Amino acid sequence: MGVRNDELIIALPKGKLGEDALDIFQKIGLPAWEIQEDSRKLSYCFNDQGIKYLICRPTDIPTYVEYGAADIGIVGKDTLEESRADVFEICDLGYGYCKFVVAIPKDVLEKIEKKHGAFNLKYFTNTRVATKFPRITKNFFNSKGIQVEVLKLHGNVELAPAVGLSEMIVDLVSTGRTLKENNLVAVEEISEITARLIANRVSYRIKNSWIQEIVTKCNQIVDLRGKQ
Interface with another protein (CB under 8 A): 1-5, 66-69, 86, 88-92, 196, 199-206, 208, 212, 215
Kindly tell me which of 168 and 198 has the beta carbon lying closer to another protein: 198
Q: How far is the CB of 79 from another protein (least distance, A)?
A: 15
Rounded to the nearest whole angstrom, what is the least distance from the CB of residue 201 to another protein in the complex?
A: 6
CB of 96 to another protein, least distance (A): 14
3-state secondary structure of 154: coil
Largest Cα–Cα distance in the chain? 68
Residue 202 beta carbon to another protein: minimum distance, rounded to whole angstroms: 5
Residue among 23, 12, 13 nearest 222 (CA): 23
Angle separating helix axes 208-227 and 16-27, nearest 10 degrees: 100
Q: How many CB atoms lie within 10 A of CB 181?
A: 9
Asked if residues 161 and 176 have their Cβ atoms less than 8 Å apart, the reply is no
CA distance 143 to 17: 30
Q: Which is nearer to another protein, 156 or 208 (CB)?
A: 208
Which one-letter amino acid corresponds to residue 197?
Answer: L
Nearest to another protein of 36, 208 (CB atom) = 208
Nearer to another protein, 103 or 207 (CB): 207
CB closer to another protein out of 1 and 163: 1
Shortest spacing between CB 183 and another protein, in angstroms: 35
Give the C-alpha separation, 144 to 170, whole Å: 14
